[in-house]
Amino acid sequence: MAEPQSARTSFLAFLREVGKHWSTLMSGGVITVALGIFERLSGKAIPLWVYGCVLVCFVFLACYLAWRNERQNHLNDGSKDKRAILIERLSALVKEAGDVDYGIVSLSTVEGLDKVGRADGHRKRVKKFLAIHYDAKMVERYETEGTGLLEELLADCYRSELA
In a domain, 2, yes or no: no
In a domain, 6, yes or no: no
Segment 90-115, tens digit of pLDDT: 888 888 877 666 555 555 666 666 77
Angle formed by the axes of helices 30-42 and 48-75, nearest 10°? 160
**Do residues 47 and 94 share a domain?**
no
**Do residues 115 and 50 share a domain?**
no
- Taking residue 8's Cβ as centre, other Cβ atoms within 10 Å add up to 12
Q: pLDDT class for 5, splitting at 50, 70, 90?
A: very low
- Kindly give, in sequence order, each residue whose CB lies less than 8 Å from that of residue 116, ignoring residues fewer than 6 positions away: 102, 105, 107
Residue 59: CA count within 13 A, CB half-sphere? 7
**Angle, vertex CA 68, rays to CA 62 and CA 74, nearest 5:** 140
Segment 27-78, tens digit of pLDDT: 767 887 888 888 999 989 889 898 888 888 889 999 998 888 887 776 666 5
**Do residues 54 and 105 share a domain?**
no
For residue 90, what pLDDT is reported?
A: 85
Q: pLDDT class for 7, splitting at 50, 70, 90?
A: very low
The b/e string for 123-151 (b: 16+ C-beta within 10 A; e otherwise) is eeebbebbeebeeeebbebbeeeebebbb
**Do residues 54 and 91 share a domain?**
no
Nearest to 29 by CA among 3, 4, 67, 65: 65
For residue 150, what pLDDT is reported?
A: 86
Instruction: Work out how many domains the chain is built from and give that number.
Output: 2
Range(s) of the domain holding residue 46: 11-74
Share of the chain above pLDDT 70, in %: 77
Mean pLDDT of 79-89: 76
For residue 75, what pLDDT is reported?
A: 60
For residue 67, what pLDDT is reported?
A: 86
Instruction: Tell me if 100 sits within 8 A of 115, measured CB to CB.
Output: yes
- Whether residue 124 is predicted with pLDDT greater than 50 in this model: the reply is yes
The Cα 101–Cα 120 span in angstroms is 10
Judged on CB neighbours under 10 Å (0-12, 13-18, 19+), 86 is buried
